[in-house]
Amino acid sequence: MEPDLFLCNAEMQKVMHNDHVLARMIGYDRRGRPEGHIVEVTKRANTHITGRLLNENGALVLVPEDKRIGHDIVIAPQAHGQAKAGQVVSVELIEFPSRHAAALGKVVEILGEIDDPGMEIEIAVRKHGVPHQFSEAALAQAKKLPEKIRPTDLHDRVDLRDLPLVTIDGEDARDFDDAVYCEPVKVGRGNGFRLLVAIADVSHYVKPNDALDIDALERSTSVYFPRRQRA
């Protein structure tokens, strides 16, 4: 395995956290660490950055909430929309940093004031790249789904809606897709119980590679935050 390469501050001005680069070793620094020079940035990891807008000498600058990003983002002229200094916003990068120039961005979303209720959650969602918006195609597909069960939905199924099924999801659950029913029954000469477990069959409505399936695969798992719909 090749040793890690140390990048000096001048080299780090060219990149951001998690960028992929092609680098070559140019020698050793004063502490004896292998030192590298960035030949090429092969993949940019950050396209949108969340932070707080500051007014510096008449220019708006974004200070990232993610402290792993050591660059302030200069907001391009007329690219702040309705955003004001002090607000928390999401910025799309339109020019990446270089050794001699700062990163340039435009405001694409205003999250609000830093002390707004729930702001820490909105920042965390974007900071950690949690998918929080559904695609237009997925929303359109969801809108077409029926609100009531159709006769065709019962094909090759046993209708248990006459049973007093009880959900096992908590009162504050985001969805109710599991339920149980239990009744006493005779088992041979003794007494026993018959337990039915009902689980929603999502695959009946969501087919492989359709818009909802693609959005679900992007999320992989659900992430829950207090006072916020899941992402």
Where exactly are the structural domains of the chain?
9-43, 48-127, 146-204
Inter-residue contact 33 to 21 (CB < 8 Å): no
Give yes or no for a contact between 83 and 112, defined as CB atoms under 8 angstroms apart: no
Of 137, 79, 141, 143, the closest CA to residue 110 belongs to: 79
Among the CATH numbers 1.10.260.40, 2.40.50.700, 3.30.930.10, 3.40.309.10, which is that of 48-127? 2.40.50.700
**Tell me, what DSSP letter sits at residue 194?**
E
107-111, 158-162, 220-224: the lowest-pLDDT one: 220-224
74 vs 225: which has the higher pLDDT: 74
pLDDT, residue 61, reads 95
Task: Judge whether 219 and 230 are in contact, CB under 8 Å.
Answer: no
CA–CA distances in Å: residue 213 to residues 129, 133, 139, 152, 177: 19, 14, 12, 21, 17
Comparing 94-103, 152-161, 195-204, 218-227, the range with the smallest average pLDDT is 218-227
Q: Give the pLDDT band (50/70/90) at residue 176.
A: confident
- Taking the model in full, what pTM does it have? 0.68
Percentage with pLDDT > 90 across the chain: 56
State the alpha helices, DSSP H only, in the chain.
Answer: 9-12, 119-127, 136-144, 211-219
86 pLDDT more than 90 = yes
Work out the average pLDDT over 114-131.
87
